[in-house]
Amino acid sequence: MTPRPEKDPITKPSERARGRVLLIAGDKQPQFIDALSLRGIDVFGVSNGAAAMVSMTRTRPHLVVAHAATRGLRIKELSKMLAQSEDGIPLILAGSEPSSVPLRLGAIVEGAFDYFTLPAELDLLIERTQQLVLLRQKIDQLRADADLDSLTGLANRRRFRVALAREVERWRRYRVPCALLMLDIDHLKAVNDKFGHPVGDMVIRQIAQTLREVSRDNDTAARLGGEEFAMLLAGVDLQRAVSAAERLRSVLGGKRVEGVGAVTVSIGVAGCPENATTERMLYSASDGALYVSKNAGRDRVSVAPPLQEKLPGV
């Protein structure tokens, strides 16, 4: 089974509101995939249990559907990992063995939400899948509303810290890299002094809107306060993160703010594990790189040094 291709960082996602299901199965399930697609749900597929662990960190599904006979699938281990995740992702099992009360009870005891026989109970599986995806989306929305910056609608500092800890922990467990971009709006104080704070707020909101537009579903764009922003890139190594930062700087600098003109940003980039292996180190490394950009004349991208080195003058 071929998973859907991943989006590059700093590219506009086409349909952010769609549900996401991770399907773990040895064979493609075209009827299942097509039926969910018509209901606004994307299905990402992997062919064995081992690949599922990595795919989950990249797709961040609302639900996992697993064929019980899939090679390498350890149901109890998978369900425990899903339950302990921050998102609390539910698991549904399916298989060719006829459904029965003992079989469904056994699936629930192992941590799954239910068991369905395929193909006989395909329609039931589809309905249950949509139900759980809609429930997860509602929970996600309620959680998001409590973690948003009031001016921009981006993640606030608390939500950013949680996401940062989560991505670094994924590196520790599964060796999935991540990267952090720290951004600072150049000369925002001069904009506030010349045009007033309402115009400065308009600049902040426009920067935030661009960050929202270019981020992928598994990225975290946040406003940390004042003119400072962060972009946490999941599953991205340092080299790709630097390219993404340069594109982002170019995109932001190419836009004009009404009544102000072009507004530039300074960016610092750090990657895990290239520059850090803890969330505190990753934050410090990207923040230090940001100050290098600001001290070197602004409107530029600077990269943190390798883990064993220190930034000059920081």
Chain Cα centroid distance, residue 185: 23
Cβ–Cβ under 8 Å, residues 234 and 167: yes
C-alpha dihedral, 303 to 307 to 313 to 314, nearest 10°: 90
**End-to-end Cα distance, the chain:** 48
Cβ–Cβ under 8 Å, residues 164 and 282: yes
Q: Long-range contacts: 224-228, Cβ < 8 Å, 24+?
A: 224/157, 224/160, 225/157, 226/188, 227/184, 227/185, 227/188, 228/182, 228/183, 228/184
Give the span between the Cα atoms of 92 and 148, in whole angstroms.
31
Give the span between the Cα atoms of 185 and 260, in whole angstroms.
13
Residues 6+ apart with CB under 8 A from 20: 41, 42, 44, 59, 60, 61, 62, 63, 133, 217
Chain Cα centroid distance, residue 179: 11
Q: What sign does the dihedral 204-207-212-216 (CA atoms) show? A: negative
Of 110, 167, 227, 279, which residue is the catalytic one? 227
Using left for φ > 0, alpha for ψ between -120 and 50, and beta otherwise, residue 196 falls in: left
Residue 227 is among the residues annotated as catalytic for this protein: yes
Give the span between the Cα atoms of 30 and 35, in whole angstroms.
8
Which residues belong to the active site? 227
